[in-house]
Amino acid sequence: MMRFTGMFRALGSANYRIWAVGALVSNIGTWVQRTAQYWLVLTQLTHHDASAVGLVMALQFAPQLLFLPWTGFAADHFNQRRLLMATQAGLGVLAAVLGVLTITGAVQLWQVYVFAFLSGSVAAFDGPVRQTFVAELVGDAYLANAVALNSTSFNAARMIGPGIAGLMIASIGTGWAFLVNGLSFGAVLLSLAFLRTSALHGRARASRGKGSLLEGFRYTWARPDLKAMLVMLFLIGTFGLNFPIFISTMAVSVFHTDARGYGLLSSIMAIGTIVGALLAASQDRPRFESLLLGSAVFGLGCTLAAFATGYGWFAVTLVIIGVSALVLTNTTNSLMQLTTEPAMRGRVMALRLGIALGGTPIGAPIVGWVANHAGPRWSLGVGAAAGFAAAIVGVLALRKQVHRATPAPMA
């Protein structure tokens, strides 16, 4: 067994190393498609319509809420490796079909909407099982570190993928970006096939009793700490994590750049997200205070971005936003998993994803409308307000936590 220490200690697991290679390839493909998809809608299928981009985001993330609680139920009850193979294959096929439609010139805006919803539906079942499957790869001892390394991989891909997408769009066309993503899912399928099943850290599967679909809601409602984290995630996920709208509209309408400049901004932001992920990986255990700090810095970063006077300064603020966003999302991921009973993790994580991403159908159209009618800078102001509001929620939750922990004075 290879030995790894510090922030890369989860790589000591052979299964995790196999998984990480496949995930990195697939993550790059995912960011290639996301960048190409928003650029296709903004510049080829509409005339710089930010509301259309917001609607694509809404359709893509709405299933996270729409299919609750079935997504968490599936993650807690079914074989996770087999379920992942099914969802990853489905996402690959959808990406390839959209690529063929785009290359042949047959693609229309309504078709992008349909594919956004279909891929979002498959991703809704993929997300909770993919996040909780990490515990089967490394066990609870290295769970927080593995979650952080997963985010590092995802955001390293965010740095690489948009740049590749920009070059592909400019040289050979948008459709090929979708085909590249479709092929990239093969890497995950291969990694899942080569896992050593005997070395997986099996956990107790949830029983299929009456009311088990709603059990995750009841469990979370009885936990004030989980409720506070979900409220913070809702605020920032709904109104703050609308980066495709922020970056694309600022790139096109304010700085008047092309596809390469747009892709570069997305890649620069990934530098911040990688730093945030590595900061999380260096911690032995996640802390609630990190959520409060991440929310406040996120609000500050969006404020600075709204007032950025040039392309370069805007790029710098994206690094700040990226660091804070990853500190927040990584901490909620690992903290919620480590403080939740193993048999409930799938349902709790499905609820987390539903709140964090499912709020996009509410927030993305609003942020897109603000960008269209008041300007992209004001849409960043909405993100800033969300960050500061989440920080206030965190302060109140922390005060209640301290109050409950303080013993009452003796009479």
Residue 268 lies in a domain: yes
Calculate the dihedral angle through the C-alpha atoms of 383, 387, 390, 396, rounding to the nearest 10 degrees: -140
Average predicted confidence (pLDDT) for the chain:
85
Q: Which candidate, 164, 215, 171, 236, places its Cα nearest to that of 382? A: 236
Are 378 and 371 within 8 A, CB to CB?
A: yes
d(CA 281, CA 385): 28
Question: What confidence tier does 411 reach under pLDDT thresholds 50, 70, 90?
Answer: very low
Which H or E run contains 383?
A: helix 376-405
Are 60 and 186 within 8 A, CB to CB?
A: no
Q: How many domains does the chain have?
A: 1
Torsion sign (Cα): 78, 81, 85, 91: positive
78-122 per-position pLDDT tens digit: 888 999 999 999 999 999 999 999 999 899 999 999 999 999 999
367-385 per-position pLDDT tens digit: 989 998 999 999 999 999 9
- Token couple for 67: 């299919």
Owning domain of residue 28: 7-197+212-403
Residue 203 lies in a domain: no
Residue 410 lies in a domain: no
Query: Which CATH number belongs to the domain containing residue 298 in this structure?
Result: 1.20.1250.20
Q: Which residues contact 16 (CB under 8 A, 6 or more apart)?
A: 10, 134, 137, 138, 146
22-49 per-position pLDDT tens digit: 999 998 998 899 888 988 998 888 888 8
Residue 411 lies in a domain: no
Residue 204 lies in a domain: no
3-state secondary structure of 382: helix
Q: Which residues contact 225 (CB under 8 A, 6 or more apart)?
A: 288, 339, 397, 401
Residue 207 lies in a domain: no
d(CA 297, CA 320): 8
Are 31 and 180 within 8 A, CB to CB?
A: no
Span 348-357, average pLDDT: 81
Q: Which residues contact 18 (CB under 8 A, 6 or more apart)?
A: 191, 194, 195
Residue 117 lies in a domain: yes
Are 314 and 294 within 8 A, CB to CB?
A: no
How many Å separate Cα 79 from the centre of its chain? 23
Span 345-361, average pLDDT: 79
* Distances in whole angstroms, Cα of residue 30 to Cα of each of 45, 360, 403: 21, 18, 44
